[in-house]
Amino acid sequence: MLPWSLRSAARRLAAATRAAASAAVAARSPAPAPWQERPPAVEDREERAAVWEDDHWPRRRPRRSDFSCTTKASTDHSGLTRQLLDFQHDTVDETDGGYDPFSQLKERFTDFKQRNYVENFTNYQKLAEQQTPEFMVVACADSRVCPTSILGLQPGDAFTVRNVANLVPPYEHGASETTAALEFAVNSLQVPNVLVVGHSRCGGIQALMSMKSKKDDRSSRTFIRDWVSLGKSARLSTEAAAGNLSFESQCRHCEKESINSSLLNLLTYPWIEERVKEGNLNLHGGYYNFIDCTFEKWTLVYRPGLEGGSKYAIKNRSTWS
């Protein structure tokens, strides 16, 4: 055991070391933010508040509720954006020497620029100033169903939104990427045509038709299930009309039934119904069968003043093969 004098000296040395470390940390630490400082000692509460607001900025400490929708991931974007802004266009692409999924896309983009953009430069310059699309297209997110490729749409031809099963929610459903796109296309761009495109072997429709008829436990809910549930009226109509057929046949029936259901849902939007009644907007359905490469199209007729019978009918139906 060390003598008392040596133990005392060791304790004093350890205490001095800790104090020096604390001082070094304090020296490196940033000054406290204005809202972290204690307000000046003023007796009157109103005067204290006035002094605090005059001498400090910001005037109040941010509350957690001010950033209730902010997550850690969403606060990291500024650094990434700075990297993009600092990027030099003549920088050589950096790869790890392995498979590059963008190699073919780069070749296709270069080909597009040479064969399309350059040859139609004047048109692209006009598009840079404004867009006046002929169609608003609602299509499925399925990788096999690209309306641009199927219908030969060119830049500026169609304002497009794609989702699972090409569904249009009713107006009361509220905001979604589909409803926002419809609002912009109809009210701002004033497109004269809305085209809802469905397709064969749609996974979203299969999910809809596979749902159990009884109310499922909440634990089985998924984003896909909640979304395709918007097509439940099409499913009920399919079960009534084709319930005795095979599951595959029911799905094929529902694929078209859901298109018409979406067309009727479009009319629940007041600004869409108004333009349809005025004759400034037409609603169309389309069905792409990629098994035999055929495309069926039709137009919805809306007769709001009709008494008796149905307010809706189909016209200009044709199949392209």
d(CA 255, CA 80): 42
Environment class of residue 115 by beta-carbon count within 10 Å: exposed (0-12), middle (13-18) or buried (19+)? exposed
What is the predicted pLDDT for the residue at 166?
A: 97
The pTM of this model reads 0.71
For the stretch 43-97, pLDDT in tens is 444 444 443 444 444 444 445 455 455 556 666 777 777 777 776 665 556 666 6
For residues 91-113, average pLDDT:
82
Lowest mean pLDDT among 5-9, 24-28, 34-38, 181-185: 34-38
- Provide the annotated binding site: 140, 142, 199, 202
Work out the end-to-end distance of the chain between its first and last CA atoms, rounded to an integer number of angstroms: 100
- Which H or E run includes 73? none
Higher pLDDT, 59 or 102: 102
Residues contributing to the annotated binding site for Zn(2+): 140, 142, 199, 202
More confident residue, 263 or 82: 263
Mean pLDDT over the full length of the chain: 82
279: left (phi over 0), alpha (psi -120 to 50) or beta: left
Answer positive or negative: Cα dihedral of 133, 205, 259, 213: negative
Asked if residue 263 has pLDDT above 60, the reply is: yes
| pLDDT tens sequence across 282-291 | 999 999 999 9
317 vs 285: CA distance, rounded Å: 9
Token duo for residue 70: 């902010």
Task: Please give the structure tokens belonging to residue 283.
Answer: 């609603």
CB 39 within 8 A of CB 52: yes
Distance (Å, rounded) from C-alpha 234 to C-alpha 257? Answer: 5
Q: What is the mean pLDDT of residues 255-267?
A: 97
Rounded average pLDDT over 218-222:
71
Q: Please check the confidence at residue 230 and state whether its pLDDT lies above 70.
A: yes
Q: Which of 180-189, 209-218, 244-253 has the lowest mean pLDDT?
A: 209-218
103 or 52, greater pLDDT: 103
Q: What percent of the chain has pLDDT over 90?
A: 59
